[in-house]
Structure 1
Amino acid sequence: MQRSLAVLFAARCVPHRWSVHASSQGHWYWVKAFAELVATVEQPPADLDELTAAHVKRWRLGAGSAAGYRAVAQLLRQDPRLRSGPAADELGRRIALPASKVQSYAQVDFDQVKLAAQRDFRAALQRIRRNAAYLQRWRAGAFDPGSREYVIGEALDLLARTGDLPRTHNPVKDGTILGRYRSALGGCGYDVTWKRLFLSSREAVSLGVLLMATFGWNLSVIDTAEVPRALPDQGTDGHPVYRIPVEKFRRGPRLHFETRNVADDGAASKGRLITEALDATRYARAVVEELTPGTDLLVVWRAAKRGQPRRELDRHPPVGKFRFGIDSQTATKWGRGFGLDGSPFQRGRRTVLVVDRREPAQHSQDTHDRNYALVDKRVQAEAIAVVAAGADEAVEKARTAILEAQLVAGPLAGDVPTAIADCQDMTASPLPTADGRCAASFLMCLGCQNAHIHPGHHPRLAYLHQALGGLRSALPAATWQADWADSYTRLEDLKGKVGATVWNTALTRMTEADRDTVGLLLTGDLDA
């Protein structure tokens, strides 16, 4: 059994199936749980060919999650011995994954998340820019070599070139910063040493939150985001336009990568965040490029201590004391540090996609609708007003496009004949002229409560209905909808009221006068 499971497992550890370590790691835990469960039955199967429907059913009930059951079931179905028979039938049973419980933020809460990230990242950006300006002055020879200001500049230069300051030797952990720099900088704390030029892990998360809120990126995209390049032709206004490469892991081979162009044309533009991110990480990226050329990742931050173990094998390995992207544990720590119940990325990204943008990002439209929009309570609540407004509009539209004329048995005394009906009161027109006459088209008689329709009108109206149906196939859809749809709908309503038999019989009684009148109505000459 172990050997067979190992064969199935190894067959999936290839780039086109499991392209990241997290996939194989998660499946390993589920396969292990499955093996432990079937080992507890009274007669454990020695191999997969001895697996029964009862074993599979027991796993389905005891897996603990729909995702775990489906993962193992998909793996087992790859074995030729489990492609037919009772166990195969049981493995083929569909089991729905539970709807995601992640919900978007209320707008006031999301605004607070963005505000916290903006304050944290902007403070770091200003600190780095301030020290960058100081370093430029030192390199330009603005300070006396014997002064404290000179030593500070020298320390900044060392940080910019190496990522650290000279320390006493210690084989186990970081040694103490040399007294010359410790005295000039005001101590050896992070705030007065390496944070002068580099982001901390918390500040990198703040940058990631802003990237998520601005572009709708998830953690995997932020983790692997490459450095955007400014296009060589910036146009006449001089504003930088960045080409941003984005890797979309779940979109399939041909849709795996895409690029987007964003311009920095003001403080509120998306491109401004890219400019600020490049400024905040420029010294870290320079050190990384010196140590490991070609790394070229956007989100770079400095770890406080050396020797921190890698927790996720799918993320870019550290370069010296520098780390890349954002892991889930650091994101959770950031959220709790700012008073949230955990990482802001899943809820925040959902808020961006289903409330702000209302469109998918690194997934398909079907996934966006099914897993994001339709299950989100905020979207559902906001949809109530939209649905109600749509229903009101539909009702109003129905009222304007139904038959309002009254059906009578025959001509009534006092009625005035019109082209398609009789009018009982010409002075009560819904569209009166200055002298009190009716200015509406004759076709509007079908939608006027003053009109009377009797069997003598049926032949002409049945022919008009037939003619409008012919126009529908001859005219552009938009033209027919605008000019004739309402009249056709009212005639359909009339046909339903009098019955198809009466309607078809009326066509046999149609006269040349009826044909001529309908022709004039369709050309508009009669209304003129």
Structure 2
Amino acid sequence: MSRRGRKASLPPADFSRPERIQPDGLVVRHYNTSGRVKEYDFSTLPVAEPVQRSLAELFAGRCDPNHWSVHKSSKSVWHQLEKFAAFLAAQETPPASVEEFTGALIDRFWLTMASTGTNRASFRTVCSLLAQDERLQSGPVADALARSVPAHKSTRQSYTTAEFEQIKLEARRMFRAALLRIEDNARHLERFRAGEFAPGSKEEVVGEALELIARDGDLPRIQGPSGQPYVPKKYRKALGGQATEVTWQRLFLSRWEAAALAVLLLAEYGWNLSVIDRAEVPRATPDPGGQGQVTYRILVEKRRRGGGSWYDTENVTDHGAGTPGRLITEALAATRFARAAVERLKPGTNLLVVSRTKRVGKDSADKDRRPNVGPFYFGLSNDDVKWWTRAVGLKGSPFQRGRRTVTAVERREPAQHSQETHDRVYVLPDKNVQEAAVPVIADGAEEAVELARKAVLVAELRDAPDPDDEETATADCSDAETSPWPAPTGGCGASFLLCLACRNAHVHPGHHPRLALLHQSMHELRSVLPEPVWRRDWSDHHARLDDLKRRIGPGGWAHALTRVTDTDRTIVDHLLAGDLNP
């Protein structure tokens, strides 16, 4: 059976298992789980031919899905064997066969590899491979191959909260801009399909172009006098040129934007790069209660667990903005045109992260990666991550440190790995976790945060309105004449957003829906404004609403959002636009 419960098809009657080692005994072929092959020529190693053949035989024994399911594994061991072969060639009397390997030879190899963690890992791998040879399973050489090599302690640390928030903010800005662009063009395409535009109008030509892009992944090209292909004039004129930004990017994510989505998936779910690269489209289950909520069942593939334990599932529900399932809803919306085009070209692909590549016709040299389908690219590679970090002005890949931050600092629980791995690899060596674990620092930090939060919200919380108070856009006011921000002509001259910072203001449950909506809207506003602008104009107001949310509690806050009225929405829109400022 397949992992989705479908009966697996049988191989053809004339099927025979491909041979991993060629007749000459020196070329090994590694077939990954997708059936793509990579060859390794052991005749290139600078050792005697009998040694080449012995190493090739040992290497071929591991080139099966139970050991190495991807080429990345075999390439890593190949590079380590190259180091071992270079060591053998440098000996005063290089061994002519494996029978001439001695314990002293292996000990000398250890001395050359003990200096760094990477080399110690290489030594362990080579010894593990050599130990499979029956000729090396007894005597001093077997003892040398069984040497205990301590694991290298990683120096990688988690991000600070400020660093990780900046990374998420950059990713959110890029992905949100792409999502809004795709949604806007999707509405235009729907109107074109409904025949709403006048024949021959610019809007109709744009709609026609979008139809072609959605169908083929790009606009048709015409050969110019110089042989250079270009977009027909009527589309260039309507779209504003033929650059990718005004053509296929109207409906598809670029690879940079797909990388931004991947960073958000990391931050939300703690997925690492390999999980995101192979993530399939989640199954959507509608809310049985009829509230319009959708629960996604996500299949998570984690190959490092070993055969038979690769797959796990996670369920997340889209309750609205800020809930775990909302990112999946947005990811599906941003990739829907690309996934539909891929389904027409190659049915059954079913991958979540699909983008449009500029390098059409140029597949990745990495045969572990899913080949492109037409102009569409799947998942995320290390190169994509490097391009994205450079594009947003960051340094280094955010995935390894980011995953450590999500699991060890934010969630404080395992994500797609065991509790033992979580504690040993992610928690105990991390300096941020160590610092947070010191009782005095933890108590002092908690007290400082509590005092800061008390200082943020000044307005008084009440269970019911006071008939003598005057209602404002955000609270009830008991005395506008004694405002901390008096107007020149008398009364209060402050913005209604400052009511929560005034001792004359009273907040009761009737205000909660509007304030919860205002808080949510300010949070969304942050993703589209430059950070200095948002910090100057909105951060203090957002912090007061954060404090209010903490005091009301998550249950009460979520309930308040369900009670938002059209009047609340109108007033919040006016507040954000500055229409109610004095």
Deviation per CA, 1:243-266: give whole Å up to 9, x if none: 111111122334221111111001
Of the structure 1 ranges 268-277 and 32-41, higher mean CA displacement relative to structure 2 is found in 32-41
Residue 122 of structure 2 is aligned to residue 72 of structure 1: no
Which of 76, 87, 91 pairs up with 1:26? 76
The answer to whether the 8 Å contact 1:173/1:306 transfers is: no
CA distance in 2 between counterparts of 1:173 and 1:26 reads 44
* C-alpha displacement of 1:276: 0.2
The answer to whether the 8 Å contact 2:346/2:373 transfers is: yes
Deviation per CA, 1:191-245: give whole Å up to 9, x if none: 1001000000110010000000000000110011000121155433120111111
* C-alpha displacement of 1:101: 1.9
The answer to whether the 8 Å contact 1:248/1:362 transfers is: yes
* C-alpha displacement of 1:334: 1.2
Partner of 2:97 in structure 1? 47
What does residue range 119-518 of structure 1 map to in structure 2 within 5 Å? 119-169=173-223, 175-385=229-439
Deviation per CA, 1:430-467: give whole Å up to 9, x if none: xxxxxxxxxxxxxxxxxxxxxxxxxxxxxxxxxxxxxx
Structure-2 change in CA distance of 1:80 and 1:174 (3 Å): farther
Work out the percentage of aligned pairs sharing the same amino acid: 55
Partner of 1:113 in structure 2? 167
Partner of 1:427 in structure 2? none
Q: Which amino acid aligns with 1:66?
A: R
* C-alpha displacement of 1:337: 2.3
The alignment's TM-score, normalised by the length of structure 2, stands at: 0.65
Partner of 2:490 in structure 1? none
Structure-2 change in CA distance of 1:4 and 1:231 (3 Å): same
Partner of 1:467 in structure 2? none
Aligned residues: 389
Partner of 2:145 in structure 1? 91
* C-alpha displacement of 1:387: 9.2
* C-alpha displacement of 1:66: 1.3
Partner of 1:493 in structure 2? none
* C-alpha displacement of 1:174: 7.9
Report SS of the residue matched to 2:312. strand
The answer to whether the 8 Å contact 1:336/1:343 transfers is: no
Deviation per CA, 1:340-377: give whole Å up to 9, x if none: 22111111111000011111112211111111111111
CA distance in 1 between counterparts of 2:339 and 2:297 reads 18
Of the structure 1 ranges 159-168 and 127-136, higher mean CA displacement relative to structure 2 is found in 159-168
CA distance in 1 between counterparts of 2:59 and 2:205 reads 58
Where structure 2 has 5 or more consecutive residues not aligned to the other structure, the ranges are 1-50, 444-582
The answer to whether the 8 Å contact 2:68/2:74 transfers is: yes
Partner of 1:7 in structure 2? 57
CA distance in 1 between counterparts of 2:371 and 2:111 reads 40
The answer to whether the 8 Å contact 1:350/1:372 transfers is: yes
Partner of 2:572 in structure 1? none
Report SS of the residue matched to 1:346. helix
Structure-2 change in CA distance of 1:77 and 1:232 (3 Å): same
Q: Which amino acid aligns with 2:316?
A: V
The answer to whether the 8 Å contact 1:251/1:362 transfers is: no
CA distance in 1 between counterparts of 2:61 and 2:286 reads 46
CA distance in 2 between counterparts of 1:107 and 1:187 reads 42
Deviation per CA, 1:265-324: give whole Å up to 9, x if none: 010111000000000000000000111110000000001131334132211111111111
CA distance in 2 between counterparts of 1:175 and 1:50 reads 64
CA distance in 1 between counterparts of 2:342 and 2:368 reads 19
Partner of 2:574 in structure 1? none
Of the structure 1 ranges 275-284 and 243-252, higher mean CA displacement relative to structure 2 is found in 243-252
The answer to whether the 8 Å contact 2:436/2:442 transfers is: no
RMSD (Å), alpha carbons: 1.9
* C-alpha displacement of 1:169: 4.6
* C-alpha displacement of 1:148: 1.5
Deviation per CA, 1:10-68: give whole Å up to 9, x if none: 11011111111100001101101101210121111112111112221222222361111
CA distance in 2 between counterparts of 1:351 and 1:161 reads 41
Partner of 1:439 in structure 2? none
CA distance in 2 between counterparts of 1:314 and 1:235 reads 43
CA distance in 1 between counterparts of 2:89 and 2:228 reads 49
Report SS of the residue matched to 2:313. strand
Structure-2 change in CA distance of 1:11 and 1:174 (3 Å): farther
CA distance in 1 between counterparts of 2:228 and 2:62 reads 42
Where structure 1 has 5 or more consecutive residues not aligned to the other structure, the ranges are 390-528
CA distance in 2 between counterparts of 1:250 and 1:13 reads 16
* C-alpha displacement of 1:388: 8.1
Structure-2 change in CA distance of 1:271 and 1:66 (3 Å): same
The answer to whether the 8 Å contact 1:333/1:342 transfers is: no
CA distance in 2 between counterparts of 1:156 and 1:174 reads 23
Report SS of the residue matched to 1:100. coil
CA distance in 2 between counterparts of 1:165 and 1:363 reads 45
The alignment's TM-score, normalised by the length of structure 1, stands at: 0.71
The answer to whether the 8 Å contact 1:167/1:174 transfers is: no
